[in-house]
Structure 1
Amino acid sequence: MPAGPGMAARWTAAVLLLGLAVSVMLARLWVAGQAHELAAAVGPVWRSHKGFDARRLGASLWPWAVAAGALLIAQQRSPQLWRWALLVVSVPTGFITALPPLGSSRLQGVERWFVLAAPVWSPLSAALVFLIAVGAGRVLTQPLAQDIAGSGLRLRLRLRGGGRTRFVVMEDRVRLVRPHHTDAVQGRLRELNNLAIPFARLETIEPIVLDGTSTVYPLPNGTVLRLSEGSAVRLTGSGQQWVVPIADSDRVAKLVRERVRARTSSEVSTPTAEQWRAAMRKRELIRKSGTGKGGRAPSDYRLGFILFTALAVASFDANEGWVDKSAGALVFGIGAVGCLMAWRNAAAVVRLAEEWPQLPADGQPSPPQTRPWTSSDGR
């Protein structure tokens, strides 16, 4: 595996790109402010309002900016997800600047087209911010090299022909996210179909070549991986065996091995049969709850935590007087804490189900009826 440019160089480029994305949003606010000034100069006096300048437009976005910053901090190890965090502030920026100011029709020439093009500038700026954030994530995660192996960054790798399924290399485990479900029950809450093998239990990391004799590979929780001829990685551990069709399997296998060697996490305990059965019962209750109102999935509680936290901040900002501010923040804060605790409990159940889809006493994974690979590196 090549050494790579070094994490210092990668982080420098990523931070510069994030700064460029912020500059694009600030530039859009400045352009919107200039458009309002041009329109106000030719319109009636009542249309010229100081609330439309760039500074006040920016002030109205500070809750969204804080939310985006919090998401970036929470996802600092997952640079490939930064683009979604920046959408939290770039989309509201586009909304509040999407309409031309009143009085724009009175302008002439270039100024008229400059101001009336607001519905074009806004989505373009949001799309540009998204693309820049994608570039920042790629700078930190591509190409796969030795410096990434020791960085602790979470890598989300596409599977060949896998659709939305992702192979995620984390700092202490590998995960299969959104494997293909085989029945309607599994399709209700796909986040309950994920699988994980902690590095402490990872036993085999083998690059292989698929021969194309099988089109699907069954996983221990009833889901499947779609196979196609080409390179892949075979992993075993926690009573599981995965065959992951992925490009550049040699580098991926070496990266996982390097992280397994460098891991600092302690050995993970094996759940008892009673603990495992209790977790499976809770997981099925979560699955039966479905999505939307009444949902008990970790993602539902996470959304509730975000919404209650946003309402607490908004209530504190909107109310006047410390009594009203404190009362509103307290009410919504209690809701946020409740969702946080439920989120942690549900996440613990789902985490155990990911690591142990079968009863731990079952031992090693059963060998597949067909061996869909023809060669390996012998490890």
Structure 2
Amino acid sequence: MHKLGRKLFYCFLVVLTINLSLGGLVKVASASTDSFYRMDARAAYAIDADTGQVLYQKNANKTYPIASLTKILTLAVIEQDIRDHKLSWNQKIKITPAVAKVANDWHFSNVQLNAGESYTVRQLAESMMIVSADGSTEALALADAGSTAAFNKKMQAMARKAGVTDAKIYNMIGLPNKDLGKNKLKGVDGDAENKLSAKDLALISQYMIKHYPETLKITKKKFANFKITEGQEYQMVNINALLPQNGYAPKDWEIDGLKTGNTDAAGKCIVTTGTYMGHRVILVGLHTKGDWNNQSKMQKEFYEKLAASYQPVELQNIQQLSKRVQHTRIVHAKKHRTVSLALAKKSTWIWVPRNTTWKQTHPTVVIKHSKQSLTGRLEAPVKKGQRVGYLNLQLQGLPEMQIPIKATQTIASRGFWK
């Protein structure tokens, strides 16, 4: 072949390779399946708490008012400060008149707090999570940071740790700013409310359960006594209707958290979590339709349909999926050879349709690199153990699953993964 002809032919091959790679990536990105479940809510999101596998999503990245779901983030801050010995569970907090005014306002979710009385951090935290007590929440935050603004900064820092970078936080409770009276933020609209997405709340809940598992010891309590003053107690009844033996407890699941919320702007909101066969799932619903019973019914249906149609299965290596996706070819100078790939982690658990095979998940390899993410090829040098892309699985009724993969050897000189 003429020298110029060879160059043109080579350029044609390069363009063809890039187009094929781009076509594959577009196909992966656009592939979708009908969801096994529909939640009648403004937004929703569900994940496996250990792997992060997305099990359901609806408007998951849009931010909305979240009402008292805010208290999940509030408690995470309190628990971290207890870890850092800035607070202790048995520490007593004296109630100010301003906090007592919020605590004893019938418009809000509360247990009675008397000005001048002292209550332990544990008492206040339990009432915050079990019956969503707004006054208790305010008392905790102000004792911890000194002001609403200072505690907001702590909440935003905690959200960033959980992977949330755009949290709109105005107070520790989730009420409109004006409802905090003396402790509201100055220079901020009175109707301003905390806003997060359903995905944000799932990430925060996931972070909290992983780093502060003691949270679940509080949220799974069905009953707890709150001592208001000497000789006066209030029996708190957990408002989570999905807890075991409650009316909407899902079959075969052990629900042990997490929080509900409600304001005019946010509507009825909920985050629940529980385990099935040792695997924890987190489910978020924002502005769910209907009454509280309908909200609980929808959540119950999600858990039961998930367990009926899917099961968590351990993927230990690529060979389980297909020999075809175990290897990839590397063009190295004029030589061709095969290089094997491996899972980035030793194994991972994946929710898959019951009575299905790995082959039916249509596994495909997507090579992705920060410098050449659009070509589908990875240029050498490549180090052994370096993540080079992911495996894409199509799971009927669930969002696609992406599993990170790594190279199993070092390629020092120039060449291209294909």
Provide TM-score, normalisation by structure 2. Answer: 0.22
Determine which structure has the larger strand proportion and give its number.
2
Q: Which has the higher helix share?
A: 1
Return the TM-score normalized by structure 1. 0.23
